[in-house]
């Protein structure tokens, strides 16, 4: 969220600031109203309820909007302020230049701590944290909510900034505990949360199929954020982080920007959708002239990523390079990163003797190419014994999970 741009240009911000002027008597909360009592225990926090997952690239903010604000045991002036905040967050889908609400993910009629309401899903770049804190300060939120539940690396990195800038305490929760909690909660509340891709290699026959994930254990989670973490999950509370790689969504975005000059993830994905990685990658058939049958390597398999451009052989020509477009480079970057993650996922699943692999994280946002590649790779290399599963709320599980844990504590 970019409060500066919002302040100057956005009608909503003007409304919000007026609303704040109309509600001057915000309570100055004392420690027993902060959500954490004098013994350091979390009490029955008044609304609003936020969960933040502050990741390496994106900050995910989940806002629980109660159906009936009076259910929340707040004072009259709090209720008014809460209404203003609710209006600001829920009447808009964009906040400043970089904040977005994913309306299509909104979950209505859910219950958190016995209160029914709606979950809203908002994201902004973590690099905009300073602007977000300025906005929170400007809106006077610090006077209302003095504790926010948070997870992800940024919950540690920005803890002091929250305290100093807006007098907000962060109630910190582990990112993988939160992720699992959120995943279980969302899957339970959204019947169409989990799906797989049928016929992933045949564009005309490829479609999403709903998957019943009500008996999920054991399963592998591959969380593709800035980096990648792989968790083996054996029950609701029993899991291990079995592996990880630094070559993740951040790598895709970083390399793509460097190679193509694009500036956003969306642009990178659009370029990739129009490109052809075989102009950049060296395939098995470029080396073997066809399949490498003895070890089951099909000719169309990438033998060596980006190798067509720089190694010796029939494609090592200036002419060849000059035919490579930005789109091809974006596609090759996407395929390289995705295939590598797929290989790691498969090895982990084999090692853990697990056949269901759930891919999540915002790298998969608006990214059917990567999802279909992963679906195909898992199926092909496991000879149909492993299944790639996907979840609609991709990158928001941590934020939801820490919100839930906060209210459970
Ligand atoms: N609007 C976006 N801006 C930046 N990266 C995005 C965006 N949408 C999707 N992504 C991808 O998602 C990744 C971050 O995923 P996320 O699960 O939020 O991880 P993190 O917690 O590390 O921020 C980025 O590295 C990028 O590949
Ligand atoms: C450090 C992290 C857990 C942070 O999570 P993220 O913000 O990337 O979602 C993740 O980037 C990661 O697991 N990186 C891979 C480290 C490794 O195993 O090599």
Single pTM value for the model = 0.89
Greatest pairwise CA separation for the chain in angstroms: 77
Residue 164 CB contacts under 8 Å (≥ 6 apart), including other chains? none
Reduced 3-state DSSP string for 300-329: CCEEECCHHHCCCCCCCCHHHHHCCCHHHH
* Best residue for ligand 2 mutational test, from 126, 152, 222, 227 (most atoms within 8 Å of Cβ): 227
Phi, then psi, of 346 in degrees rounded to 5: -65, -45
Residue 183 CB contacts under 8 Å (≥ 6 apart), including other chains? 221, 358, 360, 391, 397, 401
Give the Cα separation of 274 and 267 in Å (integer). Answer: 11
Strand 94-95 with 228-233, pairing: unpaired
Q: Are 348 and 232 in contact (CB under 8 A)?
A: yes
Q: How far is CA 156 from the centre of its chain?
A: 18
Chain segment 198-245, per-residue pLDDT in tens: 998 787 899 999 999 999 999 999 999 999 999 999 999 999 999 999
Task: Assess: ipTM above 0.90.
Answer: yes
How many Å lie between the centroid of ligand 2 and the Cα of residue 348? 16
Catalytic site residue from 78, 175, 352, 394: 175
Residue 304: count of CB within 10 angstroms of its CB: 14
The verdict on the CB of residue 99 being under 6 Å from ligand 1 is: no
Looking at the CA of 255, which ligand is closest? 1
Q: Which two tokens stand for residue 232?
A: 């083996």
Q: Are 218 and 200 in contact (CB under 8 A)?
A: no
* Best residue for ligand 2 mutational test, from 175, 180, 225 (most atoms within 8 Å of Cβ): 225
Strand 99-101 with 94-95, pairing: antiparallel
Q: So what's the pLDDT on residue 78?
A: 64
The verdict on the CB of residue 401 being under 6 Å from ligand 1 is: no
How many Å lie between the centroid of ligand 1 and the Cα of residue 58? 5
Q: So what's the pLDDT on residue 54?
A: 98
* Best residue for ligand 2 mutational test, from 150, 226, 348 (most atoms within 8 Å of Cβ): 226
- Nearest-atom number in ligand 2 for the CA of 227 is 11
Chain segment 247-263, per-residue pLDDT in tens: 999 999 999 999 999 99
- Nearest-atom number in ligand 1 for the CA of 250 is 25
Catalytic residue at 175? yes
How many Å lie between the centroid of ligand 2 and the Cα of residue 276? 29
Looking at the CA of 251, which ligand is closest? 1
Q: So what's the pLDDT on residue 15?
A: 26
Q: So what's the pLDDT on residue 383?
A: 92
User: Considering Cα of 307, then 309, then 315, then 320, what sign does the dihedral take?
Assistant: positive
The low-confidence residues of the chain, meaning pLDDT below 50, are 1-45, 47
Give the Cα separation of 125 and 212 in Å (integer). Answer: 33
Q: How far is CA 273 from the centre of its chain?
A: 21
Q: So what's the pLDDT on residue 47?
A: 47
Of 402, 409, 398, nearest to 56 by C-alpha is 398
Q: Are 276 and 328 in contact (CB under 8 A)?
A: yes
In the chain the domains, ranked by start, together with CATH numbers, are 49-185+398-405 (3.30.420.510), 194-276+325-391 (3.30.420.40), 281-323 (no CATH)
The verdict on the CB of residue 254 being under 6 Å from ligand 1 is: no
Name every protein residue with a CB atom under 6 angstroms from any ligand 2 atom.
Answer: 55-56, 152-153, 225-229, 244-246
């Amino acid at each position: 969220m970019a409060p500066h741009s919002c302040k100057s240009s956005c009608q909503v911000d003007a409304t919000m600031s007026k609303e704040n002027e109309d509600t001057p008597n915000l309570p100055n909360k004392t420690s027993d109203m902060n959500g954490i009592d004098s013994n350091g225990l979390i009490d029955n926090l008044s609304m609003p309820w936020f969960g933040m997952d502050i990741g390496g690239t994106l900050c995910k903010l989940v806002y629980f909007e109660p159906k009936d604000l009076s259910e929340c045991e707040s004072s009259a002036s709090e209720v008014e302020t809460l209404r203003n905040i609710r209006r600001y967050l829920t009447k808009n889908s964009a906040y400043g230049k970089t904040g977005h609400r994913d309306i299509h993910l909104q979950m209505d009629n859910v219950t958190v701590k016995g209160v029914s309401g709606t979950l809203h899903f908002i994201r902004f770049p973590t690099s905009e944290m300073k602007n977000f804190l300025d906005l929170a300060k400007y809106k006077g939120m610090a006077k209302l909510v003095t504790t926010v539940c948070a997870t992800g690396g940024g919950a540690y990195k920005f803890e002091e900034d929250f305290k100093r800038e807006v007098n907000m305490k962060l109630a910190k929760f582990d990112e993988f505990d939160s992720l699992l909690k959120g995943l279980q909660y969302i899957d339970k509340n959204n019947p169409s949360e989990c799906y797989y891709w049928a016929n992933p290699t045949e564009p005309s026959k490829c479609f999403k199929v709903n998957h019943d994930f009500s008996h999920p254990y054991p399963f592998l989670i591959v969380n593709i954020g800035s980096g990648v973490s792989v968790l083996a999950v054996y029950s609701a509370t029993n899991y291990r982080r079995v592996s990880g790689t630094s070559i993740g969504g951040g790598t895709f975005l970083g390399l793509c920007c460097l190679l193509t000059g694009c500036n956003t993830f969306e642009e990178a994905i659009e370029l990739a959708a129009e490109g052809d990685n075989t102009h950049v990658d060296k395939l098995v058939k470029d080396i073997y002239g066809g399949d490498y049958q003895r070890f089951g390597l099909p000719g169309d398999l990438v033998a060596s990523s980006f190798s067509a451009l720089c190694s010796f052989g029939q494609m090592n020509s200036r002419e060849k390079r000059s035919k490579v477009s930005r789109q091809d480079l974006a596609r090759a970057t996407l395929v390289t990163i995705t295939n590598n993650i797929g290989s790691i996922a498969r090895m982990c699943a084999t090692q853990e003797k697990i056949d269901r692999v759930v891919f999540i994280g915002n790298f998969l946002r608006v990214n059917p190419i990567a999802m279909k590649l992963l679906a195909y790779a898992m199926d092909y290399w496991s000879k149909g014994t492993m299944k790639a599963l996907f979840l609609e709320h991709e990158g928001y599980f941590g934020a939801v999970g820490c919100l839930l844990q906060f209210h459970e504590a």
